Structure 1
Amino acid sequence: MGHQRIWTKMQQHFQDIQVCSSCNCSTDLQFVSLFEGFLEWAISIGNSVNGFPLLVIEISDKPGEEETKPAFKYIGNVHGDEPVGRELLINLANWLCDNYLKDPLAKLIVENVHLHLLPSMNPDGFSLRKRGNANNIDLNRDFPDQFFSLNDDEDSRQPETRAIMNWLRDIRFTASATLHGGALVANYPWDGSEDKRTKYYGCPDDDAFRFMASIYSHSHYNMSSSKEFLSGITNGAAWYPLYGGMQDWNYIHAGCFELTLEISDNKWPNSTELPILWKYNKMSLLNLVASLVKTGVHGRIYSSVDGKPLPGSITVSGINYTVTAGKTLGDYHRFLAPRDKYEVVATMIGYKSKNTTIWLDDGPVTLDFVLDPEVSIKESVVQNVYDCDCNSKSTQEFVQFLWGAHLEVFFILIVILGFLLFLFQRRAKIKVPTSRQLSGSKKTVEV
């Protein structure tokens, strides 16, 4: 992937980062632990303005490998003065290490989800204790926007923004969430509206996003009992419109369902409050990741010709959104809210599409598609012509031979061929009724 991989076998845990209300202290994350038989990887996906590496913790029973498991990412500290998410993601990594062989939920996540944690997207802003990065740019306004021409020049974007965009070009994340501070609510797309008005502006997967947001809110200690936000969730544009945000860009351009989570009313609390904040958010963080394998439709797309995986596309009838299967393994993961039924359609250029109906009222569905190639008679004839290994010089000499001194012989051959063709047509006319009767008695059904 072009990322710098740091892999050191060490039997130690990630050290806790302590956020103090009176100082800016940080902990070096450039190490990896080998704990209880499974690995963590630290991956540098880029650097900040001041050259600090953006380090991602990769948690899986097969780190560094491309798998058919869905991938999930958490990003913290997008705004430098909102460090609680940074702390909680370190705690999350520690907890998964400690409980992999002890807790069923930890085991479920490690073995069935490829989890990535970026504790700090904005290390420079954290060091300066300000919202923006070292260039004083709000990173959650620095992504291309669907409604207005913002940040269309990739070279002019901040290095932290470019690092995230390149990261998502390398890895197909099924879902993700960013951790913010200053409120207590789970926010979902769209973040902006077409006319800049503050109003509910839902995306095609509004039901799925409301379900995702509710998982976090109802697993939280008190988020769902919010007096400001019904059930502790909100549509972004209904709260306040913003443009150039990372959440909408993920959904539109990366096929990734992303939430923006406001996890603490106080942006920069005293370090003594961190254990309480971890306790309040722990089950929300875990259940949101686990939801990838507890619902939705998952599977692979194959070719019926050779059985090889196909990088096809998955759509759901009535939802204007496409999920792309992996180029190597042909795997797809489509997050959906539980309900009676969905019609799922698999397509691939050069192949016949297939569709089927699934029910998601009780758990996830595994659905593989085997697609048949779409080949016409015309294409076969054209292919045969191109495959013909003819010698152009010999053909030219043969034509010259026919149209030269042997013109009379050529004329006689034409007369003979015409007579034979006449006899053949008469014979065919006699057999037409019989042929139609036979063809009508046979029926082929493809499932």
Structure 2
Amino acid sequence: QSGIHDGDFYDGGWCAGHEDRDQWLEIDARRPTRFTGVITQGLNSIWTYDWVTSYKVQFSNDTHAWQPSRNGTEEAVFLGNKDPETPVLNALPTPVVARYIRINPQTWFENGTICLRAEILGCPLPDPNNIYSWENDPVPTDKLDFRHHNYKEMRKLMKKVNEECPNITRVYSIGKSYLGLKMYVMEISDNPGQHELGESPQHGAERGDAAGTTSRAHPWRWQTESGSSGSELAGWAMGRWTYEGIDLNHNFADLNTALWDAEDNELVPHKFPNHYLPIPEYYTFANATVAPETRAVIDWMQKYPFVLSANLHGGELVVTYPYDMTRTYWKAQELTPTPDDARRPCHYEDFVREGNIINGANWHTVPGSMNDFSYLHTNCFEVTVELSCDKFPHESELPREWENNKESLLVFMEQVRRGIKGVVRDKDTEQGIADAIVSVDGINHDVRTGIAGTTGRSPRPLSTAITGACCTSVLLNPGEYEVTAAAEGYHPVTRTCRVSYEDNPTLCDFQLTKTPKQRLREILARGGKIPKDLILRRRRGMCSVRLALPPPRSLV
């Protein structure tokens, strides 16, 4: 559905080289296969409207001799699509065993050209000529219910898991959808519902699974009323728009533009913050085009100090990381790195060769994405994981998909334990300092401490640790870093923090001393007496001021 260069000639599907009935798309199943049907869609493109309205199907075992699919004695002609997106399923009149299959377009949209997307239905068979070539699909050892769940089924499943594991799970709601359905989240932790000092919460849209003593997982599924519980005939857009018709993938506040304007005017970070950017006023208005689901998620992100997150999408095999929006507003794609790229580059222009990892904006621009919003408004680093071109695989394929992705998901969540973590405290009282700014030398993207003074990726409400992985200003790879903690009314403190290769974050605490001016303010506010050391410091300061004044002019 999407190519390496979004919007190019080869993006969005297959297109024939000529407009005639001799064109064909050939698929090699690589083994004898019992073909049973074909699903087609039109081209996924924002530039053109192209789809095939009818086609024939042919089979071969050697690519030389081809036999057509027949409906009785006549060659079968299958009705195709009427628009670019709606999938159309055609079952073969009779299943055919072969290795190769061709789709031969006969007619197409009169104002377009021959383009299509296709999925072939069938079951692979053992090769009778080679008994050693047969590969068995992995059999999952996890006792899971492998099927697509609708809202009610998912709610029952979460309740069942919570009842079976009450000591490590908690189910709660983060708000309601447009139609009033509660948006449920499952927290997985050793002490669910209680944030512990040094914990690193993480969340994931769609699905997730993890538990640990130093982190908390909050997997959730973003399912809109306009979507379905899953179907092979569902396109990439299924479930993306809400009942109101709002595209959730573009519905978060655009904080990028304000930051980049401030950077162009050299206001960052002295007059304009490089992190925890405020939400624009227009976005908070009641008549703003913001889905209630989006508002609920934003409130949720502000209440919990998330550190790491992944959104699971369909559409391609690729992982994208911020920024998702191009800095040049009129460009459809442009490398737009975050400040983290300066120290930990992890973008690749040839992302197919380099593990399918790419800067989101360099793939295609997505204004108002959840990834960029999380990066700029909270202390959470978020990536998008595109798992497959098939958004809703057949239920028979789900066990294999689980085995293929389970270990990767767990390893991703373990990255929350990398980097540094620590607490910023008042040196005299030992109390945590909220809203202290923690910065890493060389990375122009800071973080703030939470209420308890733990350094982390949360705007205000709770506290968490600095921990990490590639491409984030807080989640750090092994190495040595100059880290500074600063807070209003305190002297800043800088220390060297070394991140090891161990599977545990490095402890990096800070103790800040109040400035004399701040101590004086607090004493006067309480109506107390000024200590002698402050009086002496104050007198020294006044003497310094007097000595710095120029001598008065003589009167003549």
> Which of the five TM-score ranges fits, normalised by the shorter chain?
0.5 to 0.7
Instruction: State the distance in 2 between where 1:73 and 1:182 align.
Output: 21
Q: Would you say the 8 A contact 1:75–1:121 is kept in 2?
A: no
Instruction: State the distance in 1 between where 2:340 and 2:216 align.
Output: 23
Aligned counterpart for 2:242 among listed residues 128, 133, 154 = 133
Q: Would you say the 8 A contact 2:485–2:510 is kept in 1?
A: yes
Q: Would you say the 8 A contact 1:296–1:338 is kept in 2?
A: yes
Report SS of the residue matched to 2:202.
strand
Q: Which has the higher contact order (CA 8 A, sep 6+)?
A: 1
Report SS of the residue matched to 1:56.
strand
Identify the residue that residue 104 of structure 1 maps to in structure 2: none
Identify the residue that residue 299 of structure 2 maps to in structure 1: 166
Identify the residue that residue 423 of structure 2 maps to in structure 1: 300
CA drift of 1:279 comes to 1.0
- 2:292 partner amino acid: P
Q: Deviations over 1:171-224 (max 9, x none)?
A: 11011111001101110010011213212110012268766x99xxxxxxxxxx
Identify the residue that residue 224 of structure 2 maps to in structure 1: 122
Identify the residue that residue 338 of structure 1 maps to in structure 2: 477
Over 3 Å counting, the alpha-carbon distance change for 1:208 and 1:262 in structure 2 is farther
Report whether the alignment pairs 1:374 with 2:515. yes
Q: Deviations over 1:412-440 (max 9, x none)?
A: xxxxxxxxxxxxxxxxxxxxxxxxxxxxx
CA drift of 1:27 comes to 3.3
Over 3 Å counting, the alpha-carbon distance change for 1:372 and 1:228 in structure 2 is same
Report whether the alignment pairs 1:188 with 2:298. no
CA drift of 1:111 comes to 1.4
- After superposition, residues 235-250 of structure 1 pair within 5 angstroms as 235-250=359-374
Comparing both structures, which one devotes a greater share of its residues to helix? Answer: 1
- After superposition, residues 13-412 of structure 1 pair within 5 angstroms as 16=145, 18-19=147-148, 26-29=153-156, 31=159, 32-35=161-164, 38-68=167-197, 69-76=199-206, 89=207, 92-93=208-209, 109-126=211-228, 129-148=238-257, 152-154=282-284, 155=286, 156=288, 157-196=290-329, 197=331, 198-206=333-341, 228=352, 230-293=354-417, 295-311=418-434, 312-328=436-452, 330-332=454-456, 333-334=465-466, 335=468, 336-363=475-502, 364-376=505-517, 379=520, 383=524, 387=528
Aligned pair count? 334
Specify every segment of 5 or more residues in structure 2 that has no aligned partner in the other structure, as ranges: 1-141, 231-237, 259-279, 457-464, 469-474, 530-556
Over 3 Å counting, the alpha-carbon distance change for 1:121 and 1:369 in structure 2 is farther
Q: Would you say the 8 A contact 1:143–1:244 is kept in 2?
A: yes
TM-score when normalising by structure 1: 0.67
CA RMSD of aligned residues (A): 3.3
Instruction: State the distance in 1 between where 2:519 and 2:380 align.
Output: 40
Report SS of the residue matched to 1:264.
coil
Over 3 Å counting, the alpha-carbon distance change for 1:209 and 1:75 in structure 2 is farther
- 1:114 partner amino acid: R
Q: Would you say the 8 A contact 1:185–1:229 is kept in 2?
A: no
CA drift of 1:377 comes to 9.9
Instruction: State the distance in 2 between where 1:18 and 1:329 align.
Output: 43
Identify the residue that residue 74 of structure 2 maps to in structure 1: none
Q: Deviations over 1:43-88 (max 9, x none)?
A: 1101111222111010001110122201110112xxxxxxxxxxxx
Instruction: State the distance in 2 between where 1:384 and 1:178 align.
Output: 48
Q: Would you say the 8 A contact 1:142–1:245 is kept in 2?
A: yes
Report SS of the residue matched to 2:402.
helix
Instruction: State the distance in 1 between where 2:403 and 2:365 align.
Output: 31
- 1:262 partner amino acid: E
Q: Would you say the 8 A contact 1:343–1:356 is kept in 2?
A: yes
Specify every segment of 5 or more residues in structure 1 that has no aligned partner in the other structure, as ranges: 1-12, 77-88, 97-108, 215-225, 389-447
Q: Would you say the 8 A contact 2:252–2:368 is kept in 1?
A: yes
Q: Would you say the 8 A contact 2:425–2:453 is kept in 1?
A: no
Over 3 Å counting, the alpha-carbon distance change for 1:273 and 1:378 in structure 2 is closer
Q: Deviations over 1:90-114 (max 9, x none)?
A: xx44xx5xxxxxxxxxxxx421211
CA drift of 1:376 comes to 3.9
Instruction: State the distance in 2 between where 1:175 and 1:73 align.
Output: 7
CA drift of 1:28 comes to 2.6
- 2:510 partner amino acid: F
Over 3 Å counting, the alpha-carbon distance change for 1:235 and 1:265 in structure 2 is same
Greater CA drift, 366-375 or 122-131: 122-131
Q: Deviations over 1:255-281 (max 9, x none)?
A: 110001101121121111111111111
Instruction: State the distance in 2 between where 1:24 and 1:53 align.
Output: 10
Greater CA drift, 31-40 or 241-250: 31-40
Greater CA drift, 335-344 or 139-148: 335-344
Report SS of the residue matched to 2:352.
coil
Q: Would you say the 8 A contact 1:210–1:233 is kept in 2?
A: no
TM-score when normalising by structure 2: 0.55
- 1:75 partner amino acid: A
- 1:354 partner amino acid: V
Instruction: State the distance in 2 between where 1:44 and 1:234 align.
Output: 33
Q: Would you say the 8 A contact 1:143–1:151 is kept in 2?
A: no
- 2:220 partner amino acid: L
Instruction: State the distance in 2 between where 1:234 and 1:182 align.
Output: 15
Instruction: State the distance in 2 between where 1:384 and 1:44 align.
Output: 42
Q: Would you say the 8 A contact 1:303–1:372 is kept in 2?
A: yes
What percent of counterpart residues are identical? 28
CA drift of 1:341 comes to 1.6
Over 3 Å counting, the alpha-carbon distance change for 1:182 and 1:67 in structure 2 is same
Q: Would you say the 8 A contact 2:328–2:334 is kept in 1?
A: no
